[in-house]
Amino acid sequence: MSALSILLLGASLFGSSVIVASGFSISATSASQEASELTLSSNVLTLSRKTSAKGYNARSAAYLLGLSRANKIVVSNHTTVLESLFIGEEFATNITFGTEIFEAIVDTGSSDTWIVESGFSCIDLDTGAAETEAYCEFGPTYNVTDTFSQIPDENFNITYGDGEFLTGIVGYEEVTLAGITVNQTVSLVNYAAWEGDGTTSGLIGLAYPALTSAYAGTDPTLDNSASGEQIEYSPIFQTMYTAGLVSPLFSLAILRDISGDSGYLALGGLPPVDINGTFTSTPILITSIDGYLQTYDFYTINIEGITLNGKTVRGSSGATQYIVDSGTTLNYFPTSIANAINRAFVPPAVYSDDDGAYIVSCTATAPSLGININGTIFYTNPLDMILLAGTGEDGNDVCISGIDDGGSDAAEDVYILGDTFQKNVVTVFDVGAGELQFAAREFYESNDPVKV
Ligand SMILES: *[C@@H]1O[C@H](CO)[C@@H](O)[C@H](O)[C@H]1NC(C)=O
Ligand SMILES: *[C@@H]1O[C@H](CO)[C@@H](O)[C@H](O)[C@H]1NC(C)=O
Ligand SMILES: *[C@@H]1O[C@H](CO)[C@@H](O)[C@H](O)[C@H]1NC(C)=O
Ligand SMILES: *[C@@H]1O[C@H](CO)[C@@H](O)[C@H](O)[C@H]1NC(C)=O
Ligand SMILES: *[C@@H]1O[C@H](CO)[C@@H](O)[C@H](O)[C@H]1NC(C)=O
Ligand SMILES: *[C@@H]1O[C@H](CO)[C@@H](O)[C@H](O)[C@H]1NC(C)=O
Ligand SMILES: *[C@@H]1O[C@H](CO)[C@@H](O)[C@H](O)[C@H]1NC(C)=O
């Protein structure tokens, strides 16, 4: 039985340079997974286990429509169900390349859409040794057909925040996501150092063009040099809205409940879930990366504060920039804040260097956590503050805190609101308006049989 493990997949800007909250590491506690050192950037997802879909809730949709009229956002006709792989690890959805259907990870923390190609070379991430295809644990591989046309003299090369890396070719393909078909620049991966889930074959990147990973030339080792400059392209969602196929916003609802759908990605509108209250908006920021990149890249916002048991907690620097990332399982806060929150569990959660996470009793009482966005405090359900992480050597459940250490606390650092936060809100990525909008979800219990 696989246990929850935590992924942090995200594009590293400029090849190997890492953005965001400087290095933190986390390792999967599942016995079947090797510990992986992760430095952050953006990422991948989390949550439930695959089971049957429970379908849309008509009342919810009607209710939401009523509310959303006031907000001028309507329920999307282009919604795709998310499913979760492993327990709490990642969210994936269906995507069609030509006539072949794949499951791919939904990632708001990177911008490339890629699928692994039949005959690819699999590399052991730790040793660099060549391995069998099966070793990389992808789902079905893509067989090139005539719907794909390669762009000559370009290559794809990405390293994610956890060190996994891929290279491949770049081209145009007829891609369908949530019922919308576009002629999209994609990559086909032919060289992969990847630790897959046995189901997904690629990734759908929903962030901005600045993070795309196509480079001039055919030799990836020269990427980011004078002869291997980045060649930005329009990521899939941008292609859709610039073609007028959908309004320039998408929304995500990530569900806690693993016994049904794991969530929804809704293009052009809202997902069919109940919300409690109205939307709060805040501008999407240009992430400060040493002044390097003067354009949108991640979905970064300022938060006004974090409340712990009703009191505002501050880090030493007052850092306020957070990436809102569906792809990150946990929230990553400045060290001092993460420590304060984890000390407030009863009994306290204790940081484990080995695991890169705070270990907590599965039956602990979680503190009240609130995130203040533009004056509205979004509370985190205590159910999301303790995650089952695996089974210890003694056969007992091991749990981790939903809040992790995002590294030293410098004012310019950027931290992460991951799925611990996202399970409690609907997030509208309003690219057209340059805003993120959040609404609290109605309180919902989990049917998750493994939840403590
Ligand atoms: C969704 O489809 C319905 C029925 O075809 C249409 O009336 C409505 O305008 C569509 N909504 C959006 C947001 O496109
Ligand atoms: C993905 O596609 C497969 C094959 O068409 C289908 O059985 C499955 O229900 C789809 N999954 C989702 C989440 O839509
Ligand atoms: C690609 O071809 C291989 C070998 O014929 C096959 O096993 C695989 O299922 C094909 N992939 C898809 C997505 O159809
Ligand atoms: C997609 O667009 C490119 C560039 O315009 C073109 O070369 C290619 O044939 C198109 N592919 C499809 C399947 O329409
Ligand atoms: C990817 O690009 C970097 C430079 O940014 C290069 O050092 C690396 O070798 C490339 N990866 C592969 C697998 O060629
Ligand atoms: C707060 O919301 C208002 C109204 O939507 C918006 O104009 C303003 O930019 C927001 N401010 C911050 C700091 O998010
Ligand atoms: C809606 O939000 C209010 C205020 O935060 C809370 O008291 C109430 O319990 C919530 N209702 C539901 C159904 O979640």
Q: Which residues are catalytic?
A: 107, 325
Ligand 3 atom closest to the CA of 102, numbered from 1: 13
Q: How far is CA 404 from CA 118, 309, 323, 416, in A?
A: 37, 18, 14, 10
Single-letter code of the amino acid located at 121: S
124 Cα to the center of ligand 1, angstroms: 48
Q: Whose CA is nearest to atom 2 of ligand 3?
A: 143
Cα(183) to centroid(ligand 4), Å: 6
Q: To test the ligand 6 pocket, which listed residue (281, 284, 377, 437) has its Cβ within 8 A of the most ligand atoms?
A: 281
As a whole number, mean pLDDT of residues 168-193 equals: 98
* Measured distance CA(285)–CA(13) in Å, rounded: 17
Say which residues have a Cβ less than 8 Å from residue 66's Cβ, sequence separation at least 6. Answer: none
Pocket probe for ligand 6: among 73, 373, 374, the residue whose CB has the most ligand atoms within 8 Å is 374
Q: What is the dihedral of CA 417, 201, 296, 45, to 10 degrees?
A: 0
Between the CA of 235 and the centroid of ligand 1 the distance, in Å, is 24
Other CB atoms within 10 A of residue 274 CB: 18
Does residue 270 have its Cβ closer than 6 Å to ligand 1? no
Reported as a pLDDT band with limits 50, 70 and 90, residue 444 is low
Structure tokens of 246? 């959908």
Q: In a mutational test of the pocket of ligand 4, which residue from 151, 172, 175, 234 has the highest number of ligand atoms less than 8 Å from its CB?
A: 172
Does the Cβ of 443 fall within 6 Å of ligand 7? yes
The tens digit of pLDDT for each residue in 25-80 reads: 222 212 122 222 222 222 222 222 222 222 222 233 334 444 444 456 788 889 99
Q: What is the pLDDT of residue 46?
A: 23
Cα separation, 402 vs 252, in Å, equals 19
pTM value surpassing 0.95: no
Q: Is residue 179 in contact with ligand 1, taking CB distance under 6 Å?
A: no
Q: Which fold has domain 8-440?
A: Cathepsin D, subunit A; domain 1 (2.40.70)
Three-state DSSP state, 364: coil
**Residues at CB less than 6 angstroms from ligand 4:** 147, 149, 172, 174, 183
Ligand 1 atom 11 nearest Cα: 77
Mean pLDDT of the chain: 80
**pLDDT band of 275, cuts 50, 70, 90:** confident
DSSP label at residue 265: E
The reported pLDDT for the residue numbered 287 is 65
Q: Return the pLDDT at 35.
A: 23
